[in-house]
Amino acid sequence: MYEYINTAEPVGSVTLTQKYNLGVSSATIRNEMAELEAGGYLVQPHTSSGRVPSDAGYRTYVDDLMSPEALRSEDQQRIRDEFRAASRDLDEVIEQTTRLLGQLSRSLAFVVAPARSTQTFRHIQLIWLAERTGLAVVVTSLGTPTQSVFELSVDATADDLTQLSNALNKMLGGRALASIARKDIDAIVAGVGLPSELGTAVMAAFTEAADPSDLLIAAAGAQNLLDQPEFHDLRKLRSILRIVEEQKRLYELVADSMGTNGTQVRIGHELGSDEIAECSLVTVPYRSGEGAVGLLAILGPRRMPYGRLMAIAGSTADSLGAHLHDVELR
């Protein structure tokens, strides 16, 4: 496995005998490799070539044989330095993290930002625009704003909207956006003595702010795939890039991993698409406090150095979660 990961060339018994002190003859190694092939763990691309791992071979390696790897000190320092200087704007920090992950992994990296529905409510500002027209600005714990214009059939002054904003912020601040219900808002509107129609406008603003379909996904490092022998066939590379260009398909690729615990590895046909059957995917969720959940992912050839990439993704996820939690606390 290590030999093929390093060279991308099918491995034969002679290579193993010459490069590794295994203490057995090449004939013995050939017999062992033939048995592994019969068991579905190795594949022989051509009759005269050595063997390469199958999906089942990689799966056995990742689950049972691979030793965990510690992150290299230079990578640890790079991650610390990047997040020490990272932006406090969610969109920017997601972009920065994706670039960092692509550079460290030398693969295609992408990061899914926490859905607004998993973020907590920080504050709302109701702004008077004109007679019976206002603007609602809802801001989440990670600083993500959502704006929506509302129309009323009753009069409401600028002071009325400010009063209601203050009451909503006091009573609902820190709550998960998805947990805020109409009855909570109606009780607050009634408590400040304003028309119930304002409750409808506020609820619409919260619903839009918590829209789970409004996703932010950033990708970087597609050029790294050009360095891999598996993707010198441009048709294969184009298939992968088509998926990356479509956020919906990219999200579908990792949706099952959202909210899971720990690192997951999906290999070859486990990804569910012939277009990327030559790839493997490493995913790690990250959290900002107890609420917002996002995901880091690395997509590369099945021949990827799994231990190293899992260590990079895990450390980056921890640092990103800590950074976003710090932003939220402030």
Q: Are 11 and 160 part of one and the same domain?
A: no
Q: Are 223 and 81 part of one and the same domain?
A: yes
pLDDT digit string (tens) for the chain, length 330 residues: 778 888 888 888 888 888 887 788 888 988 988 899 999 999 988 777 788 999 999 999 999 999 889 999 999 999 999 999 888 888 899 999 999 999 999 999 999 998 888 888 999 999 999 989 999 999 998 888 999 999 999 989 999 999 999 999 999 998 988 899 999 999 999 999 999 999 999 999 999 998 877 778 999 998 898 888 888 777 778 888 887 777 778 888 888 887 678 899 999 999 988 888 889 999 999 988 666 689 999 999 999 999 999 999 999 999 999 998 887 655
Q: Are 144 and 95 part of one and the same domain?
A: no
Q: Give the global pTM.
A: 0.86
Q: Are 298 and 177 part of one and the same domain?
A: no
Q: Does residue 117 contact residue 142 with C-beta atoms inside 8 Å?
A: no
Q: Does residue 299 lie in a domain region?
A: yes
Q: At what angle do helices 158-172 and 197-209 cross, to 10 degrees?
A: 50
Q: Are 108 and 133 part of one and the same domain?
A: no
The CATH number of whichever domain residue 295 belongs to comes to 3.30.450.40
Q: How much is the pLDDT for 47?
A: 72
Please state the φ and ψ torsions of residue 193, each to the nearest 5 degrees: 70, 35
Q: Does residue 47 contact residue 37 with C-beta atoms inside 8 Å?
A: no
Last residue of one domain, picked from the residues 175, 209, 243? 209
The CATH number of whichever domain residue 36 belongs to comes to 1.10.10.10
Q: Does residue 165 lie in a domain region?
A: yes
Q: Are 127 and 153 part of one and the same domain?
A: yes
Q: Give me the domain span that covers residue 49.
A: 2-53
Q: Does residue 318 lie in a domain region?
A: yes
pLDDT in tens, 213-233: 777 899 999 889 888 888 877
Q: How much is the pLDDT for 291?
A: 64
Please tell me the distance from the alpha carbon of residue 194 to that of residue 162, in angstroms, as a whole number. 12
pLDDT in tens, 81-98: 999 988 888 889 999 999
Could you tell me which of 315, 322, 317 has the C-alpha nearest to residue 68? 315
Q: Does residue 105 lie in a domain region?
A: yes
The CATH number of whichever domain residue 171 belongs to comes to 3.30.390.60
Last residue of one domain, picked from the residues 143, 177, 209? 209
DSSP 176: B
Please tell me the distance from the alpha carbon of residue 123 to that of residue 174, in angstroms, as a whole number. 9
Q: How much is the pLDDT for 144?
A: 84
Q: Are 103 and 168 part of one and the same domain?
A: no
Q: Does residue 24 lie in a domain region?
A: yes
Buried b (16+ CB within 10 A) or exposed e, 65-91: ebeeeebeeebeebbeebbeebeeebe
Could you tell me which of 242, 206, 200, 207 has the C-alpha nearest to residue 225? 242
Q: Does residue 110 contact residue 116 with C-beta atoms inside 8 Å?
A: no
Q: Does residue 243 lie in a domain region?
A: yes
Q: Does residue 67 lie in a domain region?
A: no
Q: How much is the pLDDT for 328?
A: 67
Q: How much is the pLDDT for 163?
A: 97
Q: Are 225 and 298 part of one and the same domain?
A: yes
Q: How much is the pLDDT for 226?
A: 86
Q: Are 220 and 304 part of one and the same domain?
A: yes
Q: Are 201 and 274 part of one and the same domain?
A: no
Q: Are 318 and 220 part of one and the same domain?
A: yes
| Structural domain count of the chain | 3
DSSP 66: P
Last residue of one domain, picked from the residues 209, 244, 272? 209
Q: Are 235 and 321 part of one and the same domain?
A: yes
